[in-house]
Amino acid sequence: MEKLLSSVVAARKPANKLRGFLASQATIVFSILIFFSLPAAALFQAEYYQFPRSMEYDYVTYRKGSKELLFKEKFNISKQRYARQDYVVIRSSSQPTDNNPDKFSKETLTYYQIDQGKISTSHHENHTKKSGQTQTLFKIDFDWPRRTANYGTAVRVNDRTVLTHDLGVFFQNMLLKDLNDVPFTVLFQNGNSLNLRARCVGEEEVAAKAGKFTCKKFEMAPDFQLISMIAPKIYFWFEAKPPYRYVRYEGPERGPFSPTVVQELVGYKL
């Protein structure tokens, strides 16, 4: 996609060079976001729904229109205690719907430390596998008193920092605090960061395979006017009332001009 876009930009008149450059930047940004989005990550002192027991959620991802199935995912959320400290633990697994061992699958694990009814990300790891063998392994630990994150290299973070693997808890935090417009900084696995903005754009009834839900709809886009004018918007739907289930995602598969994909809740167990 980037190579094709570059050739198109090169053929344009000089007046269109800025637009072409911004479009290419938007492509890169959203390709990264789509690849790494959901389910767990970096939040400091976030509100969370204090669930009474473990919860499991199942999702499928498909191309909008054709309904071509791409991935199936399972999330497990539980409370655990280690070394006299309580944690919310989120595990997820994602694999192709055709179970082809030659395609990549992903497993993630995140520990959120509980402190006075709020949670902060403590540890996150992401395993990418192929044919049952780990191909890449990413681990990151957070030291909030020092405002640093360490994944072999230490980087500075702030109270608004969100790792790309967390947007679920981030939006639930917005619901619990009744926030409608929140700027934040997303941290990528290479240590780079980007300023984004999440907005609540209304309430909708969503008919998912798991049932009908009254949801808050959130829009996420770069917090930079020129890029946000070109970059495609991506949307998340979360149940408007407890337990604030993540119900639906809709956005480009790989960036501008790519097919739209949908992730949808298909089942859950409380």
Where along the chain do its domains lie? 2-269
pTM for this predicted structure: 0.80
Q: Report the range of poorest mean pLDDT among 6-20, 23-37, 179-193.
A: 6-20
For residue range 196-253, list pLDDT tens digits in order: 899 999 999 999 999 999 999 999 988 876 665 667 788 999 999 999 999 999 998 8
- The pLDDT value recorded for residue 34 is 37
**Position 80 confidence tier, pLDDT thresholds 50, 70, 90:** very high
pLDDT at 29 over 50: no
- The pLDDT value recorded for residue 18 is 42
What is the full DSSP assignment across the chain?
-HHHHHHHHHTS-GGGHHHHHHHHHHHHHHHHHHHH-SS----SSEE----SS-EEEEEEEEETTT--EEEEEEEEEEEEEETTEEEEEEEEEEEETT--TTSEEEEEEEEEEEETTEEEEEEEEEEEEETTEEEEEEEEEEETTTTEEESSSEEE--TTEEETT-HHHHHHHHHHHT-SEEEEEEE-TTS-EEEEEEEEEEEEEEEETTEEEEEEEEEEEESSHHHHHHSPPEEEEEESSTT--EEEEEEESSSTTSPEEEEEEEEEE-
Q: Which has more confidence, 167 or 246?
A: 246
- The pLDDT value recorded for residue 27 is 41
